[in-house]
Amino acid sequence: MEVMAQSLVQQIQKLEAKLMLFPQSFPKQIQLFNLRSTEYALTQPISVLLEEDQEQYVATFFDTGDFGVGETEQEAIDDLCSNIIAEYESLRTETAKLGQLPAQTWAFLSGLIRKRGNPEKD
């Protein structure tokens, strides 16, 4: 019984050593509650995947395909927020000319984002 216990302890130690080789915290899913903007606000939180890719971080919002990159997690998140806003603004100015997929993206984003100081969605 004691030999079996020692064997299990050794196996656990080997597994712990192997686990230390894997990244500890990436990828990770986070919730964003705002777009880091004084002009636009989210109507609900969004789920974002944050990953470390070599020497940079990548934040991805899969619902629209937007992503941001940066040297830090915060820079990647800020870049993502800027890209989501840029897509929103671009689609908003072209709503009459949108094809099917961009129109679906616009319908999604227009329900998710509102202009601050404007109780109605833009």
Residue 19: band (very low, low, confident or very high) from pLDDT cuts 50, 70, 90:
low
Indicate the pTM of the whole model. 0.76
- Burial-class residue 31 by CB neighbours within 10 Å (0-12, 13-18, 19+): exposed
Q: 26 or 59: which carries more pLDDT confidence?
A: 59
- List the domain boundaries for the chain: 23-115
pLDDT, tens digit (0-9, with 9 covering 90-100), for 22-56? 655 679 999 999 999 999 999 999 999 999 978 89
Does the pLDDT value for residue 113 go beyond 70?
A: yes
- 87: helix, strand or coil: helix
- Burial-class residue 46 by CB neighbours within 10 Å (0-12, 13-18, 19+): buried
Q: How many CB atoms lie within 10 A of CB 72?
A: 10
Residue 119: band (very low, low, confident or very high) from pLDDT cuts 50, 70, 90:
low
